[in-house]
Amino acid sequence: MTLIGKSVPRLEDRELLTGTGRFAGDQNFEGQLHMRVVRASLAHGRILSVDTAAAAASPGVFAVWTGVDVADVSPINLRPGSALQDLEKCRQHILAQDIVRYVGEPVAVVFADDPYRAEDAAELIWADIEELPPVVGLMDMPGEFAPGVSTEPAVLVKGYGDVDAAFASAAHIVDCELSVGRHAGVPLETRGALAIWNDDENRLEFHAAAKIPHTNRIALAELLGLELDQLHLFEGHVGGGFGVRGEIYPDEVLVNLAALRFRRPVKWIEDRMEHLIAANHSREQTHRIRAAINADGLILAIDDEFWFNQGAYARTHGATVPVVSATMLPGPYKVPAYRATGRIRLTNVTPAGTYRGPGRYETTFVREQLMDTIAAELDLDPLAVRRTNLIAADEMPYERPFEIGGKPIIYDSGDYPESLARFLDHVDYDAVQAEMAERRASGEMAGAAIICFVELGGDGPFDDVRVEMDTDGRVEVITGVASVGQGVETVIAQICADTLGIDYAGITVTHGQTDRIARGQGARASRVTVMTGNATHKAASGVRGMLLEKAAELLQSPVETLEISDGVIGIVEGLGEGPSVTVAAAAAEILRGQNAPRIAVEESFENDRATYSFGAQLAVVVVDPLTAGVTVERFAVVYDIGRAVNPMLVEGQLVGGAVQGIGGALFEEFLYDETGQPLSVSFADYLMPTAAEVPDVECLVLEDSPSTTNPLTLKSGGDPGITGAGAAIAAAIGDAIGRPGAIKRLPVTPLRLRAILRGDADRKQEKNNAENGVST
Amino acid sequence: MTRIQLNVNETIHDVEVEPRHSLVDTLREGCGLTGSHIGCEHGVCGACTVLVDDQPVRGCLMFAVQADGKDIRTVEGLDDDGAFNALQQAFHEHHALQCGFCTPGMLMLATWIVERGLPVDDNELREIMASNLCRCTGYRNILRAVRAVLDASGQDGAGA
Ligand code: FES
Ligand code: FES
């Protein structure tokens, strides 16, 4: 029986389909207080006073805090290893101390016996703030964050090879300026937190935790001045993560601090407007990129300078996004010499963190638009330029001579040209192009494009898993991982069941409970299936070994002659007949005379190498020449995942990611006015795709290039849907309007596309006028 | 405070509400039915979709007092003693949910489509399901799941 590779339905679904889930808002504690945050309404200013008297006297109010009440709490730290230069000096306090630096920054909090009453009281708080000039634009001159600290607190430089020599000898030099707007993960559930002081256990309990409970436990305990064993985090259901949910923000710290100080449960549920101005934004970057090319379109070097908008403060991810951007920009291409200079800029807008596919969505757009620009300028076929530059199969494993987070970049396996060829075949790209040419000839603005990328994930350094079995043969897998809705329980149960030779459906997978296992890495960076999967395999193999050994004794037959199938241990098929014993009976025998109720094996899987995999995407679009609206007619993804544990769930990730990415390509953007007032504060302004804006995304999941970094040969699968989506849509629009490389900025809103089309029309008119001798 | 009566999934709930309490807040806090979710509170996402007298309604845009005396159906009323109904089963089989936060609203909207009994072609289905947001699935599998149920009940798009 093999379960790895089977599209079995999910274990998670039952509660979610019957309305019996436990999301943050669904949980309540007797006597709880409700917290409401009062947020700055100016982008930059000095706090003169905060009048809380009316709020404190408002019905149901228990307490009101301003900056002075929490002045003893240090600002929120960056995660170890993610800081860079002066970034650490730009951390955020949980309540603004003297200066507010973005609209939405917490200035005060109200605690009341009812959420409606907490909100009523919050509206009575008056913060007198003296306005300071804001820095809003990413490319504006840097100012000062604080005395002596620039709003460009860090500049990172990454590269290899002799870039200058390559440019000096190049046949062609192509340059462009490309930007990605401000997007965010925007999970459908807003953030929420509940904290309660447990007197019996002498510990604080943080419920509705998410993403990285073990990591956050360490950071929070330090902030709150608790011993580690005085704090535990518990994950419930999480309504989407995408990098945003589950970081430590001021709000979560305030909830915990209040429960600790008041010795009373405290609950906080964010509203949507708050979410859109307070939870991490991401993506906003501008690149000035140059490429040195030979006559055939082969890239000799890339020199990129980019600006990354960190927003008002450094947050928990530190420099993660710009670092990944700089390292992943070359993607699937050879690029013999490379230099990236990333300028991290602070501005008076909502702080930034990661969003699904961090640094890859942005730089895939930049790189692939560069490829299209090269093709256009050298009059080459865009696909041919990509093929010319792809890393070849015989170059694997391919090492980029620099590192990410102290680790070398080694593309572990893949046949990129072959994967691309299979994709072209699968989508019948020749026919697609012929159809587009025909439609354009008949006056339609229809176009198609294929873009390529490399995905990374499966990141270490470790994951621990304990597999336990009771005398009834029931199995629990205890992990340090977290679930954000991606199907962790099913995948881990499949791997465990596959190893043990039992049914996956009866396995309980525990995650996000810091009191059940000492260490954990959570659900970040597309790492769960690879890392936790391998740890599960190791621990389950240990249990399997114990069961077989006991069965060998019971059945009087050597271990090598035994196998487990459907929960029964018996003689390997073909080796003849013999007695058998159930897994449960063997477990009961092992436990006989011991006072432990369960067999338990805990194992650690360690790995310092990420997995790298190839992907490509096809987009087919049609542009309305009048409104400049873009309709996505077709979208397809190929991804070489090495080995898929559950192909149905892999496809789910690809499709969902692609649609999110299409959102960022066409609709989603956090806009600000020149004073730093946010203009995207509801779902009527921040436009996410509905079913009407996207086609049914097609997937081709390849299992051609197993990973060499881990025993199960797995690769990551969380982000490849989104990674190329901005690039694919932009390239397809370029094809549709007959100007590959024309799209310089995401999202391609009708306003921006119309300006491009207008420019084209104006140029055409000018040309006609010139030809007709009309002076302009 | 006003006392109102909500008939939710064929159970009468007598609850005290303020005039400003939304229907979804009241279902969640007053009736203890937390299956209906709140994603935006401004009528866009549809996570709060419930059926009021068999019509889909944004639970965040209706005041509880407006629902006084009405028949309300929520996700908690779909299964038969733990056994999935056809829509739930189809969502399960087609992997039409990931985090599951949008799922109750999607299910209730789809319930209305199915119970209408009219033929629905793919375009109309897409248009109607576009009333609700999902941030995880990319919609494909949700549409497939609802389509499967419609087809099984003879509501394919032919002749629509
Ligand atoms: S919560 Fe009602 S529509 Fe979003
Ligand atoms: S499944 Fe997560 S929002 Fe739809």
Cis amide bond preceding A75, omega within 30? no
User: CA distances (Å), A576 to each of A217, A556, A687, B62, in order?
Assistant: 54, 14, 65, 70
**Domains by residue range for chain A, with CATH:** 22-133+204-238+245-257 (3.90.1170.50), 285-458+609-761 (3.30.365.10), 460-606 (3.30.365.10)
Average pLDDT, chain A: 94
What mean pLDDT comes out for the span A733-753?
A: 97
What mean pLDDT comes out for the span A190-215?
A: 94
Residues 6 or more apart whose CB falls under 8 angstroms from that of B76 comprise A18, A19, A20, B9, B33, B35
Quickly count: other Cβ atoms within 10 Å of residue A72's Cβ.
Answer: 7
Task: For residue B134, report the phi and psi dihedrals to the nearest 5 degrees.
Answer: -130, 135
- Give the pLDDT of residue A2: 85
CB of B132 within 8 Å of a chain A CB? The answer is: yes
- Specify the higher pLDDT residue, A584 or A761: A584
- Give the pLDDT of residue A407: 80
pLDDT confidence tier of residue A351, bands split at 50, 70 and 90: very high
Nearest by CB: B45 against A15, A188, A660? A188
- Across the interface, do A188 and B127 touch by the CB < 8 Å criterion? no
CB B88 within 8 A of CB B79: yes
Write down the pTM of the prediction: 0.96
Residue A13 and residue A487: Cα distance in Å, rounded? 9
User: CA distances (Å), A713 to each of A391, A399, A418, A479, A709, in order?
Assistant: 21, 19, 20, 20, 7
Pocket of ligand 1 (CB under 6 A): B 38-41, 43-48, 58, 60
Does the pLDDT at position B25 exceed 90?
Answer: yes
Atom of ligand 2 nearest to the CA of A189: 3
- Across the interface, do B98 and A485 touch by the CB < 8 Å criterion? yes
Reading the block at residue A235, the tokens are 């994950």
Distance B60 CA to ligand 1 centre (A): 5
Which residue in this structure is represented by tokens 């005396």? B69
Share of chain A above pLDDT 90, in %: 86
> Which segments within A101-258 are labelled E, that is strand?
106-112, 126-131, 144-146, 149-150, 154-160, 172-180, 192-198, 203-209, 231-235
User: CA distances (Å), A454 to each of A568, A613, A615, in order?
Assistant: 43, 5, 6
Per-residue pLDDT tens for A105-145? 999 999 999 999 999 999 999 999 999 999 999 998 888 99
Which site among A18, A244, A701 would you substitute to test the B interface, given the most B Cβ atoms closer than 10 Å to its Cβ? A18
The string of DSSP codes covering A257-299 is HHHHHHTS-EEEE--HHHHHHHS-BB--EEEEEEEEE-TTS-E
Cis amide bond preceding A147, omega within 30? no
Does the pLDDT at position A776 exceed 60?
Answer: no
Residue A726 and residue A745: Cα distance in Å, rounded? 10
- Give the pLDDT of residue B159: 46
Ligand 2 pocket test target in B37, B95, B136 with most atoms within 8 Å of CB: B136
Distance A12 CA to ligand 2 centre (A): 13
Per-residue pLDDT tens for A274-310? 999 999 999 999 999 999 999 999 999 999 999 999 9
Distance A766 CA to ligand 1 centre (A): 50
Reading the block at residue A177, the tokens are 């300026």
What mean pLDDT comes out for the span A176-182?
A: 97
Residue A240 and residue A185: Cα distance in Å, rounded? 9
ipTM: 0.98
pLDDT confidence tier of residue A230, bands split at 50, 70 and 90: very high
- Across the interface, do A657 and B138 touch by the CB < 8 Å criterion? yes
Residue A498 and residue A564: Cα distance in Å, rounded? 10
| A/B interface, count of CB pairs below 8 Å | 169
Residue B142 and residue B129: Cα distance in Å, rounded? 9
Per-residue pLDDT tens for A555-578? 999 999 999 999 999 999 888 888
Which residue in this structure is represented by tokens 């708050």? A274
- Give the pLDDT of residue A773: 61
Average pLDDT, chain B: 96
**Domains by residue range for chain B, with CATH:** 2-77 (3.10.20.30), 86-152 (1.10.150.120)
Give the ligand whose atoms come closest to the C-alpha of residue B59.
1
3-class state of residue A216 by DSSP: helix
Name the CA radius of gyration of chain A, rounded: 28
Per-residue pLDDT tens for A458-497? 877 888 999 999 999 999 999 988 887 778 999 999 999 9
- Give the pLDDT of residue B160: 41
Per-residue pLDDT tens for B130-141? 999 999 999 999
- Across the interface, do A272 and B47 touch by the CB < 8 Å criterion? no
Burial class (CB in 10 A: 0-12, 13-18, 19+), A368: buried
Establish how many alpha carbons lie within 13 A of residue A157's alpha carbon, considering only the half-sphere containing its beta carbon.
Answer: 1
Residues 6 or more apart whose CB falls under 8 angstroms from that of A184 comprise A244, A276, A279, A280, A281, A282, A283, A355, A670
- Across the interface, do A683 and B139 touch by the CB < 8 Å criterion? no
Task: Kindly report the nearest CA distance between residue B83 and chain A, in angstroms.
Answer: 10
Residue A744 and residue A747: Cα distance in Å, rounded? 9
What mean pLDDT comes out for the span A99-110?
A: 98
Task: Kindly report the nearest CA distance between residue B51 and chain A, in angstroms.
Answer: 15
Task: Kindly report the nearest CA distance between residue B154 and chain A, in angstroms.
Answer: 23
- Give the pLDDT of residue A359: 96
Handedness of CA A660, A664, A667, A671 (dihedral sign): positive
- Give the pLDDT of residue B158: 61
CA proximity to A338, closest of A177, A172, A165, A161: A161
What mean pLDDT comes out for the span A596-622?
A: 94
Nearest by CB: A694 against B34, B103, B138? B138
